Amino acid sequence: MAHTYEKRQRQKVKQLIDEVHETNGDHSIAKYFPHYMDPETADNLHAELIKHHKDGLLKPEAWSFMGKSGHTKRTSTAFGVKDLTYTYSGRTITAMDWENSPVLKQLAKELGEKFSEIFNYVMVLRYPNGEAGIRWHSDDEGDMAEGSIIASISLGEARDFQLRAKDKKKRRKKIMTVALAHGSLLYMNQKLQTYYDHCVPIRKRIKKPRYNLTFRKMKMKNKK
Ligand SMILES: O=C(O)CCC(=O)C(=O)O
Ligand SMILES: [Mn+2]
């Protein structure tokens, strides 16, 4: 059973990556590492994130749209070079110093070595259940350093992650979906953000939380 599931996941991911390569010609790259973390390391990191949540470090994100406003079901926070900011969808998330989360600081170092990148910021998102998602978007904001890749780690309940070409003519098979597993790593290069959008769709049958960490390199001028 688990074997069949794994096989299906591998096929889906292969399809996702092949399609990204096939449709690009612009060197957009997504790579998925389903077992990046061994189960014990993943569980320990998950426990650490639950602790950050219980300590009240994650906050709901404000939104306003066409005269309406509210808060997302997701909560978020960030760690990194102290006071480095990231503004997206009209809200700014300011990093707490890495020293507030030594585990994330260490992971930033490891991932940085793996991908030859200097990650100075990690955004932490918590989806309390499948009622929370993130709409179609790309992470191509001006705050990100030129050429910065994103290393995305998922913990807790697996959630579907979708990719589609921004260019409607290139969408052909439309949407690529992969369920991001506990302890997995998704690598995205910056060109992927230029040519593709991604989202985490709402899945009402999912009742448990999921955490997502996106390690990024921000422009250093973005300090408060
Ligand atoms: O939760 C995810 O896997 C994606 C999160 C995301 O797209 C973002 O933080 O920009
Ligand atoms: Mn994103």
Share of residues in the chain with pLDDT > 70 (%): 86
Q: How far is the CA of 211 from the centre of ligand 1 (A)?
A: 10
Would you say the CB of residue 212 lies under 6 angstroms from ligand 1? yes
For residue 44, is it within any domain?
Answer: yes
- Residue range 101-140, pLDDT digits in tens: 999 999 999 999 999 999 999 999 999 999 999 999 999 8
For residue 32, is it within any domain?
Answer: yes
Give the CA distances from residue 207 to residues 71, 107, 128, 130, in Å, rounded to whole numbers and listed in that order.
20, 28, 8, 6
For residue 36, is it within any domain?
Answer: yes
Atom number, ligand 1, closest to the C-alpha of residue 214: 9
For residue 49, is it within any domain?
Answer: yes
pTM score: 0.90
For residue 224, is it within any domain?
Answer: no
- Residue range 92-102, pLDDT digits in tens: 899 999 999 99
Would you say the CB of residue 139 lies under 6 angstroms from ligand 1? yes
CA distance 103 to 50: 13
- Our count of domains for the chain comes to 1
Would you say the CB of residue 214 lies under 6 angstroms from ligand 1? yes
Q: What is the CATH number of the domain that holds 93?
A: 2.60.120.590
Reported as a pLDDT band with limits 50, 70 and 90, residue 47 is very high
Q: How far is the CA of 1 from the centre of ligand 2 (A)?
A: 32
For residue 16, is it within any domain?
Answer: yes
Residue 127, domain extent: 2-216
- Residue range 148-167, pLDDT digits in tens: 999 999 999 999 999 888 88
CA distance 103 to 154: 15
**DSSP H or E run through 178:** strand 176-180
For residue 221, is it within any domain?
Answer: no
Reported as a pLDDT band with limits 50, 70 and 90, residue 45 is very high
Burial class (CB in 10 A: 0-12, 13-18, 19+), 170: middle
Would you say the CB of residue 84 lies under 6 angstroms from ligand 1? no
Reported as a pLDDT band with limits 50, 70 and 90, residue 182 is very high
Atom number, ligand 1, closest to the C-alpha of residue 137: 7
